[in-house]
Chains A and B, each alone.
Chain A
Amino acid sequence: DQQVKQNSPSLSVQEGRISILNCDYTNSMFDYFLWYKKYPAEGPTFLISISSIKDKNEDGRFTVFLNKSAKHLSLHIVPSQPGDSAVYFCAARPMGRDDKIIFGKGTRLHILP
């Protein structure tokens, strides 16, 4: 049973436009959400996170939005660049468990020239 769901296996976006990656979760006890980026033949790397007490966190071109009532979060990348082509994993941490991170299946983002 997937507690963190990324329903779009892939997404293609024109360079310079906005990329929006979506993630849904089922466990209301998650208190932190994270996004990781993964290039081929490499391990995932941390991108950005958001606490459940916030609804937005921004870091340069990357913004994560959290809608707790809908149990939904999204990652916005503006403007999209060729180097953003990668697999993006949404992840969540159960409250009080700072040691356990649960990942979604990932969304492959293609930035088109």
Chain B
Amino acid sequence: DAGVIQSPRHEVTEMGQEVTLRCKPISGHDYLFWYRQTMMRGLELLIYFNNNVPIDDSGMPEDRFSAKMPNASFSTLKIQPSEPRDSAVYFCASSFPGTNVSPLHFGNGTRLTVT
């Protein structure tokens, strides 16, 4: 299994531009999560999906952020317009619900820099 795949690995853009981050979860995993990592706040949960349906988007910082999951093998996180404070590492993770707690499987992240 290739694991969770994120693209691009690095993204540098100018303030005001649209940014789209992509994620392919592990096949068969029902849950998909988007996290953001910053020094100040650590790993923050932005939004997660179950069977392609958004369940909780309370962590999405502003209306500038949106996420979609058009099918079980693909999700996007879009920032429009981007701002310098959006600079962070964005992680996608997926999991398969088990009887106890299901560990999240993370991708290698997208490092976003907004200048």
Contact = CB atoms under 8 A, between A and B. Distances in A.
Interface of A is mostly: loop
Contact of B48 (A6, A45, A93, A100): A100
Contact of B108 (A6, A41, A101, A106): A41
- Interface centre among A43, A98, A103, by most B CB within 10 Å? A43
Interface string B78-90: 0000000000000
Contacts, number: 63
Contacts of A93: 101
A6 B48 CA distance: 24
Most chain B CB neighbours (cut-off 10 Å) among A51, A101, A102: A101
Given A43-B93, A105-B42, A99 B48 contact: yes
A74 to B, nearest CB: 18
What is the interface residue range for chain B against chain A?
Answer: 20 to 34
Given A32-B101, A43-B4, A49-B101, A101 B45 contact: yes
Interface in A3-31: 6
Contacts of B48: 99-100
Interface string B88-114: 000101010110111111111100000
Q: Identify the 4 closest CB pairs spanning chains A and B, nearest first.
A: A43-B106, A105-B42, A46-B103, A103-B43
26 contacts: A34-B103, A36-B104, A41-B109, A42-B108, A43-B4, A43-B91, A43-B107, A43-B108, A43-B109, A44-B104, A44-B106, A46-B104, A46-B105, A49-B100, A49-B101, A49-B103, A51-B101, A89-B43, A93-B101, A99-B50, A100-B45, A100-B56, A102-B45, A103-B35, A103-B45, A106-B43
